[in-house]
Chain A
Amino acid sequence: MIKLIIYVGLGVWGLRSLFAQARPGREMNVAQSAIYWAALRWETDPQKLLAMAAVFDQEGFTPQASALRKRSALEQVSHEQHAARQAALRKALASTDPQAVKTLAAAFEGEGLGDSAQLLHAWARGLEGGRGVHFVPAPPVKRDASASGENTEGATESPPSPPQENIDVNTDRGAL
């Protein structure tokens, strides 16, 4: 317990030093952002989260402080609310609408669900990237027929690709 208090104290002191010249309304710098996201994704100790939230709040980063506070209380969230969030996450991972996914990611961040939010941000980036990608037939692999024991000329060629189905991320499968 004493160790925990010391670690939290040192952490708060370190954060205060980091924020010494921060001003309300300004964007977080790289180091502040890294600390915030590490806490929002991986920290599960409510005491540490509340201590960090207090520092972020004091320095004017109110939305971030709020997210950290909500994360500190995640264990008290009702079963129904967890189930609704799980359903929303599932739906987002089947969605092909990057804007809708980004909106949910932002909502998750605000609720203190940092790792889920990061997954959705990556998913949205993937959807945006996949939109500009067009089908290209993959080349067949040349295999040594004698090594595989197969005997036929032309066995090195793959059969022609069937028409592409069900894998076009441009297809709208329904927004969130």
Chain B
Amino acid sequence: MTPQNEQYERAVSVAKRARAGDQNAMGMIEQIRINAQGGNQLAQSSHGMISNWLKENPAEGAPVRFSGEVASSLGMLKDPEIEPEVLLGILCGLPLSGDMKAIDAAICLLSFGHPVNTKRIGVIQSAIPTPLKPAFDFGLANASDARQLTPLGSRLSPVEIGHLCAGHTLGTARRIQLARAPGQSVNILGADIGWEMGC
């Protein structure tokens, strides 16, 4: 086992104990935090691992809370009269919030809203500046395909990532709406899911 893996396992162990109410573990996390603030690199990376694990593994039943700006943006997705420019702006800004759950929530809210059909997507596409259209279209065509989308993260500018994400979010919401329709093949959700479901 590499030192990084060992450090990660210890960090997760402390986080789990603290979550379970172990006061010694809570004290250790506090000490790690103090050391991290003091510039100790090992403590800094351990503190990051603990924070990430706690964020990625919320306690059962714990409500998800978004920051004020993200919550407000997501709330606008519930407005049936939202204009395409506003919708696009919100979706492009979600990756910058740093909270990936906001993207999942946006997909969920959109999929329960008005149909995300070709006409609606076309109106949104018409509001996108030409240089950013390829990023949006790629996200739309490869919505929810992590193998296609994830590698692009390091190659695109933040603005392009925003449009890629907007395409992915709208595309996924559209696919979910279509998959709910009776008689529609779940293959619409992606080729890998289609294979698993025997389509």
Contact = CB atoms under 8 A, between A and B. Distances in A.
B102 A138 contact: no
Interface residues of B, number: 53
B81 A159 contact: yes
Contacts, number: 163
A161 B83 CA distance: 11
A105 interface: no
A134 to B, nearest CB: 5
B127 to A, nearest CB: 9
A158 interface: yes
A138 B66 contact: no
Interface stretch (B34-42, B116-124, B187-195): B187-195
Nearest to B13: A27
Given A82-B198, A115-B190, A137-B79, A29 B108 contact: no
A27 B5 CA distance: 11
Nearest to A21: B1
Q: Which one of A115, A135, A136, A162 has the highest number of Cβ atoms from chain B below 10 Å of its Cβ?
A: A115
Given A128-B64, A137-B76, A138-B79, A119 B9 contact: no
Contacts of B80: 161-162, 164-165, 167
Contact of A119 (B65, B72, B144): B144
Contacts of B86: 138-139, 141
A129 B5 contact: no
21 contacts: A30-B5, A71-B196, A74-B196, A79-B198, A82-B198, A93-B111, A113-B197, A115-B192, A119-B144, A125-B105, A126-B108, A129-B64, A129-B101, A130-B108, A130-B109, A132-B66, A137-B76, A137-B79, A158-B81, A168-B112, A169-B108
